[in-house]
Structure formats: C-alpha cells, structure tokens
Amino acid sequence: MKTTTKQKIAFAILFLCTVIVVLPVLFVLAVVIKNGWPAINWEFLTTMPRNNMKAGGIYPAIMGTIYLVSLSTLFSLPIGLFAAIYLNEYAEENMLTRLIRLAIVNLAGVSSVVYGLFGLVMFVTFLKFGVSILSGALTLAIMNLPVIITASVEALASVPYSFREVSRSLGASRWQTIRHSVLPFAIPGILTGAILSLARAAGETAPILFTVAAFYLPNLPHSVFDQAMALPYHLYIISTQIPGIPQQMRYATALVLVGIVFSMNIFAVIIRSKFRKKKKW
Amino acid sequence: MKLRKIIEFIIEKLIFLCGVASILFVILIFAFLLKEGISFFKEVSFGKFIGGRYWYPISEPPQFGILPLILGSLLVTLGAIIVSVPLSIAAAFYISEVAPIKMKDILKAGIEMLAAIPSVVLGFIGMVTLVPWIKKAFHLPTGLTAFSGSIMLGLMAMPTIISISEDAINAVPKSYKEGALALGATRWQAMYRVVIHAAMPGIIAATMLGIGRVIGETMAVMMITGNAAVIPHTFLQPVRTLTATIAAEMGETVHGSMHYYSLFAIGIILFVITFIINFTADIFLHRNRK
Amino acid sequence: MVNPVHPAPVHRCGVHGVPEIIINKVVMKELDIWYGKIHALKSLNMNIFKNEILGIIGPANSGKTSFLRQLNRLNDLELNYKAIGEVLLDDKDIQSINPEVLRRRVGMIFALPQVLPISIYDNIAYGPRMHGTKDRKRLDAIVEETLNASFLWDEVKDRLLESATKLSGGQQQRLCISRTLALDPEIILFDEPCSGLDPISTAKVEESMLKLKEKCTIVLVTNNTKQAARVSDRTAFFLMGELIEIDTTEKIFTAPSDKRTEGYILGKFG
C-alpha cells in the first residue's frame, strides 16, 4: 500500500476515535433535553417538593447548590489566588516549592469521597460546625483549591515578564508591581479558572454526602449552620433511593444541573476567547 | 508611606501562608483520616483487612475484608483504562497533529464539556440508557455490572488523558518531526515513529492520572455497578468499589462504631493509592519536561 | 587600558560639550557581576560625570546591559545573580539605598518600548502613584510636563486616556521616556532605546536625550556606534565583560588608544 494511502486511513481512524470521545457529550445533552425539557416549567424551578418528592419542584435543591457554591468560592478563591501569587511571583526553586507543587498535584488527585470523609471529621465533628452548609462549603473549597491555583498560576505566568521589570524599574515594590502591573492583566484568566471550578463544585456529590446534604427539608436554610438540599445529591436520591418518582422529574433535575454547569462553562469560555482577542501583548 | 510598608508586609506574609496552605491541607487530610482509621487497625490486623474475602460489616460477628472491594475497584479501573486509553491517545494525536485549527477548537470545547458533566449525571444517564442495554444485549439478570461502570468511567477518564497527552505531544520539539519529514517520511510515519516515542513519558503520566481519576470516582460507579461486595469473576457481574462502599455506607453507620472506623480505613487506602499514582505521574511529567 | 577613574581634564572640551565643572555622579570600584557561572562584568573601574551623556558601545554579551542594570539594581530581580565591588552614587554605596528609592532616582528606558497596556495618562502617572502621589492636579501637571519633554505632548494631548498600545513604536518609546521623567530622576539609563525604531523616531528620541542632559545624567547603551558618536559626550567600549577604553567621544572615534576599540569602530563603519 502506498504510504499516503496508509496515512489517509490512519488519519481517518484517529478522527473516528475523536468523534467517539466527543459524541457522548451530545448524547447526554440530547437525552436530558429530550426527556427533561417537557417537565421544566416555572413551578418546577420555584416551588418546594411535594408528596414525598413525587411532585412539586426542586427549588430548595437549586438554592442549596447556589449557597454552597458561592460560599465555597468565598473561601477557595482568595486562598487559591494568593497561593498562585506565591508560586508564580515569590517562590524560588527550592525544596519548599517542590513540596507545595507536589501537595497541589496530590490534592487534585484525592478521591472526592475521601474529601467527604475529611470534611466529616474535620469540619462536622472536630470543629463542631455540624452537618451544615459551612462544613460542605469548606470541604468543596479545599477540593477546588488545586483547580483555582493551577488556573491562576497559568494566568499570572501569561503576563509578560517585562511588565514586572518596567514596574520595578519605576521604583514600585514587589507587591505594588503584582497589584498594579500583573493582576489586572491576569484577571480574565483567573476568572475563567474560578468559574470552571465553581461549575465543578456545583456538580460534586460525594464531598457533600456526609457534610451538608439533606434528603428533604421543608424550609430553605436560614444560616450557614443549617443543612441544605443540593441539586446533585437530589438527583442521586430521586434516581436511586426513592422508587416511584416520575421518570420525567429525574430527567428534568438532571437537565437543570447540566444546564447550570454547562452555562457556567460556556460563560468561562466566552470570557477566555474575548480576552484572547483583546490581548495586546 | 510607613503604613503602606506595614500593609505590604502583612499581605506578603499572607501570600506565603496561602502558598504553603496546600501542604497543610494534604497533611490535615491524612492526619484526620489516620485519626479515625487508627482505631480500626487496633482491632483488625492490616493483613486481614486487605486480604479478607468477606465484607460483612454489620453482621455478628462482623467481617471487614476488603479484598472484594479492592478487586471490584481494580476490575472497573482496568475496564475503564481499556476503554479510554486507546481512544484518548488517538484523539490527542488527532487534535494536536491532524485537526485544522477550527476543528481543534470545537473538539477541545467538546472535551472540556465532557469533563464538565457532573459524575452523578453520568451515573444517571448510564442507569437509564447503558444499563438496560447491557442487560438486554448480554441476556443478564441485571445490567448493573463492572462493564457498565467501566464504560462510564472510561468516559470520565478521557478528558484527563487527552489533555495531558496533548500537552506532551505539543511539547515534542518541532525539530524531531521536521527531521523525519525531511527524510521523506509522511506525517503519519513521523507521528508513530518519532513523536509518540518522544511523548511517551507524558502519555504514561496521562494514563496514570486517568487511572487515579477512575479509582477515586464515586457517584457514577455507585449508581451503575450494582454494589455487590463479592469477589468478581467476569466483567459482566455486579461489583462494589472502595469508593462506593464509603459513600453508600457512611450514612448508615453509627458514629464511633467499628463499621464507621472501617470506612476511614478504606479512605486511608484510597488516599495512599491516589498519592502514589499522582506522585509517580508527576515524576514522569517532570522527566518529560527535561 | 587608560585610567578611567581619573580622566585628564583636557577631555572637557569635546564637540558635544562635556560639562564645565566635572562632578562624579557615579563611581564604580572593582565591580564584578556573575549570573550563575557566567562572569558578565570583570573588575570594572569607571566614573560617570554629572550631566554628561555617556555612551556605552560593544558587541553582544560584552557586559553593557549587566553594567546598566547594576546602576538601578534591576539585576536584583535575576536568579543566581551575584555582584562584588562598589557602586557609589553621590558618594553613597547603592547597596545601602532602598532599591525603590534608588530606582526613582535612576530611571531606565528599555530596548523595546515597554508600555503597559493601560492609558497614556496612567502609564506616566504609574511611577508617581506608586510613590504616593495621588493628587489629580499634580499628576495632570506631571503628565503634561513630561510629555512636553519628550516632544510627544502635541501628538497625544487629545487622547491621553486611550490605550498606550495604540501609539506607534517611536511614540511608545518617547512615552517611556516621559514615564521615566515623571519620577524626576537624576540619572536615566537607556538600554539600546532605538533598536526597534525608524530613523525619524530615532532622531526624536536623541533630541530629547540632548535636552534631558541639562537636568540629568544619561547613560546610553547602544549597538549603533553612529548613535554614540552623535549624542554622547564620552564613550566607553566594552568587550567580553571588560572595559577596554573610555574617553571623549571625539577621541574614541578618531584616535582610540586600543587596537580593539579601533577594530570594533572600523568594523562597524565598514
């Protein structure tokens, strides 16, 4: 066989493999939209569940997820950003820095259910926060830290070194330089990373299983020390734990969750591409 | 001016603290797992725990053998790797070496989307589509099998493997490829004779990180593998993984019971496994960079 | 090597007008610079006079830029950097001066115009703001004054709030000069400031240098020997980390005392 023909066949196979990888995304979307969309209406999104969750809406689950994700970002974003600043702007190549890198890689690899265990002992039991939004949010925050750090380091590193040099040559201190000549230009990248990590936190189930999630609550939580329902956990229990839930409601819940996560992702991608176009250095 | 200096001093100390926070969190996680898990190992020997063939944590007397769970995790992981590695490497090559720019962007976005689908949603979709199909196709009593889990987990491992392999392929010096092309090789020949060898450490690291992701995965496996804690013999039977055991049973244990502590002991095992995997993968990645 | 520390007073009457009264602005004593294992500058002894333009010429890797970055301690930012010896600014060791204060007194213009992607106004106000000037009127005055000094005011006065990246290369470089002037420096270091510019822009930059000399001391590192000949009062020739010769520009270009200097200049002139 001619080598060019071989190449054509090989490339076709590679292409096919790639399609097989991407296709499930469309499949998942198609399935949840087709089966879930008819059940989605204003009532479904804004009312409490009724009749042992067989009717009514998923309002408290949506709100619970929003509370959890916002609170966890409140913890993880500042710590993650500062950690990234340390790694990219201050750290020298020494043992400590290598240890930090190793720790980040490791945090990224820890199983989500192990985070759940950790959150249970550390926040629920040891710090006595109880099974609460606070415990769940802190657990999610630590879990998200590596994502935010990695994205922020990348964003900081993409700011040209010359900006720092110019700023320092004008007599600015190290922190002034970071604050005025590095951070402003890294913000879009950091934001993208933060939103992606938020999306991930919104979809996580295992870390909140033992730290916050409630099967059913008649009221919305009043403070961060209350339990809360959450979308991914709700989807889990209505699809595995309670028989007799109308199938459509399960699809609709999945659709809402996927909708939230995907729209956040798309938002992040838009910010990123806008920024790339605007970038002038 | 003095005030500014003081504020800067505080900020820089804070930056340092946040910098080392990751180390602190890793230590905290391990310490707290150990704190709870250690009580378990006082009662049950490590060998009996790892090698025990029966996981009956609430019978009388209880049996805490996690061999079936370990084998369940391994089987599902093995299946997921068989499903995902060839496809992922092929896709990584296609995206970084063959696809036109526009196509590349679309495919990358698609893979990012795949990574973004929450595990519980994939589990649910698997339950309602894949599981019935497998039951029918193989004439099984249940479609909740290791095989179903492998396919879903394979999907979840792909984005990790693809993106890291792609980085590795992109990091191969252009001169290697150009050298091959200058000798009259086709692009395909240059790829499988030269580029893949140069990118190999990165691809191995990618595969390892994919394995790490699969072993740690919880929700989807719990929903579609059937959760039977028996030593598996084929892919087409229900299995139970380490992660699913923790997730499914923690809610029902009495705080402070042996059963409760045993789940932390499983957590320690998981933590150590993922630590080793990530550590090794990182070594491979660094070697690649040099 | 001619003795660079005590140049003969006759050198004063060059065509470019070496200042009437010679005051040593900077004195370097036995200065050595290393980057890791690279010995970038070797036991340098040299003076810079107040209100002169000192041209530094030499081939690539001759230590010119290392020398320049020593004067505002920008070398401090490099990894594995080490220096021994003394650099005295107005008889005071620069190592004993807070680098932030030092860099305010010793400004720098980089090879490529390094404007920050913020407005023209903010670029110039950057330095003063970092040193605590917040008063808008004061900043307005600084912006106008410094843009005038680099002959840029008329070209940009109507678009001060537009991004500086929209300016042409030559305009950007003159903006960088204004930005440095905004701190009212005593010394300005030019690191091959015209390497990316067309002849007209180059002429404008050189024009502003000659005007700046009245107020400050200028050190000009250049790859372009003609430029050194045009603007500098004295010229120093560096080769492989060593100062080969320093003298009035006229002397260096007409009767250099070292063969290597002659070779370099002739080579450059073809």
**Which ipTM value was assigned to this complex?**
0.91
Burial of residue C151 (CB within 10 Å: 0-12, 13-18, 19+) is middle
CATH superfamily of B55-289: MetI-like (1.10.3720.10)
Q: What is the pLDDT of residue C125?
A: 94
Higher pLDDT, B286 or C74: C74
- For residue C11, tell me if it sits in a domain: no
| pLDDT for position A280 | 62
Could you tell me the CA-to-CA distances from A209 to A65, B72, C11 in Å, in that order?
13, 22, 84
| Average pLDDT value for residue range C195-211 | 88
Give the pLDDT confidence score for residue B219 in this predicted structure.
92
Q: What is the mean pLDDT of each run of 10 residues along chain B (290 residues)?
A: 87 95 96 92 87 84 89 94 94 91 88 92 93 90 91 93 92 86 85 88 92 92 88 88 92 87 94 93 73
* In-domain check, residue C236: yes
Residue C22 pLDDT: 82
Q: Decide if C3 is inside a domain.
A: no
In 3D space, the residue among A15, A9, A44 whose CA is nearest the CA of residue A234 turns out to be A44
What's the pLDDT band for A142 if we cut at 50, 70, 90?
Answer: very high
CA-nearest residue to A176 within chain C is C130
Chain B residue with Cα closest to A202? B118
% of chain C residues with pLDDT over 90: 47
**CB-CB: which of A163, A173, A180 is closest to C100?**
A173
The residue of chain A with its CA nearest to that of C177 is A170
- Residue B266 has a pLDDT of 94
- How many other CB atoms sit within 10 Å of the CB of residue C100? 18
Q: Where are the domains of chain B?
A: 2-43, 55-289
- The structure tokens listed for A148 are 């935010």
C199 domain residue, yes or no:
yes
- A4: Cβ contacts below 8 Å, ≥ 6 apart: B186
Segments forming the whole domain that contains residue C193: 17-269
Q: Report the number of distinct structural domains present in chain C.
A: 1
Query: pLDDT tens digits for A173-186?
Result: 999 999 999 999 99
Render pLDDT for C146-160 as a digit per residue (tens, 0 to 9): 999 888 999 998 999
Q: Which residues pair with C163 in a beta bridge?
A: C119
Sheet with C92-93, side-by-side order of all strands: C38-49, C24-35, C81-89, C92-93
pLDDT at A215: 81
CB-based contact C52:C20 (threshold 8 Å): no
Please give the mean pLDDT across all residues of chain A. Answer: 90
The reported pLDDT for the residue numbered A281 is: 63
Q: Please give the Cα distance from C176 to C201 (Å, whole number).
A: 13
Chain A residues near residue C165 by CB distance under 8 angstroms: 280-281
* A163 contacts C183? CB cut-off 8 A: no
A52 in contact with chain C, both atoms CB, cutoff 8 A = no
**B8: contact with A, CB 8 A cutoff:** yes
CATH number of domain containing C160: 3.40.50.300
- Given this model, what pLDDT does residue B9 score? 94
- Alpha-carbon gap, residue C259 to A20, rounded angstroms: 72
**Is 70 exceeded by the pLDDT of residue C53?**
yes
Residue C166 located in a structural domain? yes
Listed ranges A50-54, C7-11, C236-240; the one with the highest mean pLDDT: C236-240
* pLDDT score of B129: 93
Residue A241 has pLDDT above 70, yes or no: yes
Span A237-244, average pLDDT: 86
| Residue C12, in any domain of the structure | no
For the purposes of burial, counting CB atoms within 10 Å of the CB of B1, is it exposed (0-12), middle (13-18) or buried (19 or more)?
Answer: exposed
Residue C89 lies in a domain: yes
Please state the φ and ψ torsions of residue B201, each to the nearest 5 degrees.
-55, -40
When CB atoms are compared, the residue of A111, A200, A269 closest to B243 is A111
Question: What pLDDT was estimated at residue C2?
Answer: 40
The per-residue pLDDT for C269 is: 45
Judged by a CB distance cut-off of 8 A, whether residue A17 touches chain C is: no
Q: What percent of chain C has pLDDT over 70?
A: 91
- Which member of A162, A171, A185 has the closest CB to residue C100? A171
CA distances C116 to A160, A185, B139, B230, C183, Å, are 10, 10, 68, 65, 17
Neighbours of B64 (CB within 10 A): 20
Give the span between the Cα atoms of C125 and C183, in whole angstroms. 9
Query: Which residue matches tokens 């039991």?
Result: A125
Q: Whole-number mean pLDDT of chain C?
A: 86
Neighbors of chain C by Cβ distance (3+ pairs < 8 Å): A
**C7 band by pLDDT with thresholds 50, 70 and 90:** very low
pLDDT of residue C12: 38
Judge: B122–A28 Cβ closer than 8 Å, yes or no.
Answer: yes
Chain A contact set for B19 (CB, 8 A): 82-83, 85-87, 90-91, 100
Would you say residue C115 lies in a domain?
yes
3-state SS assignment for residue C1: coil
C100 contact residues in A (CB cutoff 8 A): 171-173
Give me the pLDDT at residue C20, please: 62
Residue A169 contacts C where some CB pair is shorter than 8 Å:
yes
Task: Look at A86 and A57; give whichever has higher pLDDT.
Answer: A86
* Facing residue for B186 by CB, picked from A7, A175, A254: A7
pLDDT band at C18 (very low <50, low <70, confident <90, very high): low
A219 in Cβ contact with A56 (< 8 Å): no
Question: In whole angstroms, what is the distance from residue A257 CA to residue A261 CA?
Answer: 6
- Quote the pTM value: 0.89
